[in-house]
């Protein structure tokens, strides 16, 4: 066989264009793949290869046919894994029983290639497979076997054991699940999980040391097959600084993410970005915590699918930032993103997930997509069940396709504002879209509720004054309301005060003495005596 004088692959940077070490067009393999799956010859390894090669001309096609057959006909031998005496690794035995451990997969692959006239080597080394723990060291002899094949003038790597499926952590159950990723994997990606005993077989320049392999981040095949490109930090063990740790992921296209820190997503703040996500973690107890990050494609057909675990970190926390206890109503991801944009909330005034307000007031605006109706809920972070106080403390104003959400907080603290929407033309219910965290540290803040709005108060009406739903007693109060399509407006207190129409606004004063509440009524038609209530204010008690 030829010696190792083939050109090496540059390890860094991996050019991110392909996961393969040579151009592979999977569409062109469809017929060959289907043929290889159907071949059912168990008489001898020679006969099997002969049958497979009927449809394969080039070395690449031969290797592909052998790979496809092994990945769909040999299952991982969980009994043999635990019990050496029952292990069969000879190619003919593996073929007869249809079972083996990695040693047998790699041996069978090597023998089938040899019969097919393709150079192939069985490689051994350490792998980050089932049971791998972050930061562990590898000692003693190698624990895994795979192959290198020589095609079109250079060596390429593959692992048919991992291409076939996976075992659970205790290696008691094997599940067939074909994985394309481990066929001719680019060496710069293969080194994530496979460390050969002979470092030449990394096929990389420069090569990694075992120490570097042990401390490097584990990027699994799901990470790459979902189009994720990189993550930061690039080391799997992270220390918190002042109780906080941050992780970010870069990806090619819009991707949905979730995370679990010690099994919950309550102690973090995740935001989706156009090309990835950012996550700030605030563990609420010291010690070592496991952080898992999951992802899935945002394409419509993938939405029903489950999330795949793509990254794992260990977060070492020395001190806890108690101030960063997030409200239990907060939903990940936080803040606006391509996801809320896709649902019709364009050009948000606040792009960040947290809105800090010093005086307890803030105003959010969006441009709405076509035919969208909006609903909000506001939740204070309390110990008890949190009720929705948005009716009293959030005011919606629609101006054309612009919506404004005015928020007046009743007190200091953390609040979650959830935003829902539905198509106007839809009779159905509203769907949750996204949420913000609103924080106010100023303990003097105490905004009264907005006035109560009735169903005849249209969403494009606007209160210019008074915005407070609680009016001072025994005072003249100025009213200025933007309303259209009505003939007459009255403010009813102890007495009744008409408002006058002026440039789209209805204006006037009313005196609050002698009454507990003040209502605004409108006549929709000058000839009718019938009127509707649109607003109600309370008056301060003496």
Q: Which of 60, 72, 66, 199 is nearest to 124 (CA)?
A: 199
Instruction: State which H helix or E strand residue 432 sits in.
Output: strand 431-440
Q: Could you say which of 72, 144, 289, 393 is catalytic?
A: 144
**525: its two tokens:** 């038609």
358-384 residues labelled b (16+ CB within 10 A) or e (exposed): eebebebebebeeebbbbbbbbbbeee
Three-class DSSP category at 138: coil
The long-range contacts involving 378-384, CB below 8 angstroms and separated by at least 24 positions, are: 378/407, 378/415, 378/416, 378/417, 378/418, 379/327, 379/329, 379/415, 379/416, 379/417, 379/418, 380/327, 380/410, 380/411, 380/413, 380/414, 380/415, 381/327, 381/328, 381/329, 381/413, 381/414, 381/415, 381/416
**271: its two tokens:** 């935001």
Q: Could you say which of 33, 77, 159, 329 is catalytic?
A: 159
Active site residue 159: yes
Count CB-CB contacts under 10 A for residue 241: 11
Q: Please, which residues have CB within 8 angstroms of residue 238's CB and are 6 or more apart in sequence?
A: 245, 247, 291, 313, 314, 315, 316
Q: Which of 502, 521, 518 is nearest to 510 (CA)?
A: 518
What's the 3-state SS for 36-50? Answer: HHHCCCCCCHHHHHH
Rounded to whole angstroms, how far apart are CA atoms 540 and 473?
5
**299: its two tokens:** 């394409």
List, as one string, the DSSP characters of 460-490.
T-EEEE---SEEPTT-EEEEEEE--S-SEEE
Rounded to whole angstroms, how far apart are CA atoms 100 and 70?
11
Q: Which of 204, 79, 210 is nearest to 142 (CA)?
A: 210
Active site residue 362: no
141 close to 198: Cβ distance less than 8 angstroms: no
Q: Could you say which of 33, 71, 73, 102 is catalytic?
A: 102
Give the helix, strand, coil percentages of the chain, each rounded to 5: 20, 40, 40
Spatial strand order in the sheet of 361-368:
345-346, 361-368, 402-408, 394-399
Which positions are annotated as active-site residues? 102, 144, 159
């Amino acid at each position: 066989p030829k010696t190792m004088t083939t050109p090496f692959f540059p390890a860094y940077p991996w050019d991110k264009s392909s996961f393969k070490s040579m151009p592979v067009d999977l569409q062109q393999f469809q017929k060959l793949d289907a043929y290889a799956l159907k071949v059912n010859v168990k008489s001898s390894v020679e006969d099997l290869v002969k049958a497979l090669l009927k449809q394969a001309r080039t070395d690449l096609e031969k290797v592909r046919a052998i790979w496809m057959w092994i990945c769909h006909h040999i299952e991982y031998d969980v009994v043999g894994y635990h019990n050496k005496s029952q292990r069969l690794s000879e190619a003919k035995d593996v073929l007869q029983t249809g079972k083996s451990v990695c040693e047998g997969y790699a041996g069978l692959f090597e023998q089938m290639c040899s019969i097919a006239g393709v150079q192939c080597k069985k490689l051994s080394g350490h792998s980050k497979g089932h049971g791998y723990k972050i930061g562990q060291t590898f000692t003693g002899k190698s624990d895994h076997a795979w192959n290198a094949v020589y095609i079109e003038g250079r060596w390429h790597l593959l692992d048919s054991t991992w291409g076939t499926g996976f075992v659970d952590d205790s290696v008691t159950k094997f599940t067939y699940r074909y994985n394309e990723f481990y066929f001719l994997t680019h060496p710069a990606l293969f080194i994530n999980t496979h460390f050969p005993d002979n470092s030449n077989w990394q096929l990389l320049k420069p090569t990694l040391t075992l120490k570097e392999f042990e401390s490097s981040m584990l990027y699994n095949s799901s990470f790459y097959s979902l189009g994720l490109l990189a993550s930061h930090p690039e080391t799997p063990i992270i220390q918190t600084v002042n109780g906080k740790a941050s992780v970010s992921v870069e990806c090619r296209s819009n991707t949905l993410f979730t995370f679990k820190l010690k099994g919950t997503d309550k102690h973090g703040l995740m935001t989706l970005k156009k090309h990835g996500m950012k996550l700030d973690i605030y563990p609420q107890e010291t010690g070592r915590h496991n952080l898992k990050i999951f992802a899935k494609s945002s394409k419509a057909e993938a939405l029903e699918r489950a999330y795949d675990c793509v990254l794992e970190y260990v977060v070492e926390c020395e001190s806890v930032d108690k101030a960063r206890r997030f409200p239990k109503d907060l939903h990940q991801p936080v803040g606006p993103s391509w996801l809320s944009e896709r649902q019709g909330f364009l050009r948000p005034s606040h792009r960040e997930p947290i809105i800090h307000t010093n005086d307890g007031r803030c105003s959010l605006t969006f441009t709405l997509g076509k035919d969208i109706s909006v609903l909000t809920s506001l939740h204070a972070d309390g110990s008890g069940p949190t009720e929705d106080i948005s009716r009293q403390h959030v005011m919606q104003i629609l101006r054309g396709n612009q919506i404004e959400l005015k928020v007046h907080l009743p007190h200091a603290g953390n609040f979650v504002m959830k935003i829902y929407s539905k198509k106007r033309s839809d009779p159905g219910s509203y769907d949750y879209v996204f949420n913000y965290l609103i924080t106010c540290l100023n303990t003097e803040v105490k905004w009264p509720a907005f006035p109560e709005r009735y169903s005849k108060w249209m969403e494009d009406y606007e209160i210019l004054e008074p915005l407070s739903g609680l009016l001072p007693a025994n005072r003249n109060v100025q009213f200025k309301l933007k309303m259209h399509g009505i003939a007459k407006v009255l403010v009813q207190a102890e007495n009744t005060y008409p408002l006058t129409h002026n440039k789209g606004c209805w204006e006037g004063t009313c005196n609050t003495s002698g009454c507990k509440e003040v209502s605004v009524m409108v006549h929709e038609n000058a000839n009718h005596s019938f009127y509707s209530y649109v607003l109600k204010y309370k008056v301060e008690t003496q």
